[in-house]
Amino acid sequence: MRVVIMGCGRVGSSLALALQAKEHTVAVIDRDPAAFRRLGPTFAGVTIRGVGFDRDVLREAGIADADAFAAVSSGDNSNIIAARVARETFGVDKVVARIYDAKRAAVYERLGIPTVATVPWTTQRFVAALGEGSPANSWRDPSGSVLITPITFHESWIGQTAATFQLETGARIAFINRLGNALLPEPRTVLQQDDNLFVAVLQDNRENAAAVAAAPRQD
């Protein structure tokens, strides 16, 4: 895979080296040539000095043949402009941008540009590490309103259908891990002992759904 990265800070350089280790072809763009020192002597990719949303700079980096583009500079505006140029002008299929502002990240997600909202993501990881909030293997959409998370259910739910579980908890079963295999449930799928449930739930309903699932079910 050919990947173009805009930004050679700590994130960009780390990403470049990680992708190179997986034997991908990598080109890195940064306006400061001194930033390329972070790549070290083992980096075998291409480095281009310039602004990452400049079309000529992108062409020099090989954007026309790129399979993926990552905008990870320190500026939200630069990242999103570069991501849109890569997607809309050069037709790169896989594009992602790092965004610090979570509200703006949500807007760009709706426009079809995947984003990594750095501050909310880091906050969630710290909260999880401190034993509070949602577990580390949860996923939250950029707006923070929807959560996909594991949920523990009481044994009285065994034998009940996914439809019943969803109706009574208000949480939709995203998938079930059953004996090490992932299962996409249908409404009539019956919950079994040792199933691990992962649900999509509104953040405002997370605690209620968890409480209903963990309590003995009342017929």
pLDDT on residue 144: 66
Q: Residue 51: helix, strand or coil by DSSP? A: coil
Question: Measured between alpha carbons, how far is 42 from 44 in angstroms, rounded to an integer?
Answer: 6
Residue 216 per-residue DSSP state: P
Residues 114-142 as b or e (16 or more Cβ within 10 Å = b): ebbbbebeeebeeeeeeeeebeeeeebeb
Q: pLDDT over 70 for what percent of the chain?
A: 80
Residues 6+ apart with CB under 8 A from 195: 153, 176, 177, 178
Question: Measured between alpha carbons, how far is 109 from 111 in angstroms, rounded to an integer?
Answer: 5
Alpha-carbon torsion (63, 67, 72, 75), positive or negative:
positive
Q: What is the pLDDT of residues 51-106, one digit of tens each?
A: 999 999 999 999 999 999 999 998 888 888 999 899 899 999 889 888 877 666 66
pLDDT on residue 130: 54
DSSP 115-171: EEEHHHHHHHHHHHHTT-SS-TT-EE-TTSSEEEEEE---GGGTT-BHHHHHHHHS-
pTM beyond 0.75: the answer is no
* Paired sense of beta strands 196-202 and 146-151, if any: antiparallel
pLDDT on residue 180: 78
Which CATH architecture is the domain 2-123 placed in? 3-Layer(aba) Sandwich (3.40)
For the chain, the domains span 2-123, 145-214
Q: What is the pLDDT of residues 133-178, one digit of tens each?
A: 555 456 766 666 788 888 999 999 999 999 999 999 999 999 998 8
Reply yes or no on domain 145-214 having CATH 3.30.70.1450: yes
Residue 52 per-residue DSSP state: T
Residue predicted with more confidence, 120 or 78: 78
Q: Is 25 exposed, middle or buried (0-12, 13-18, 19+ CB in 10 A)?
A: middle
pLDDT on residue 141: 62
Residue predicted with more confidence, 57 or 119: 57
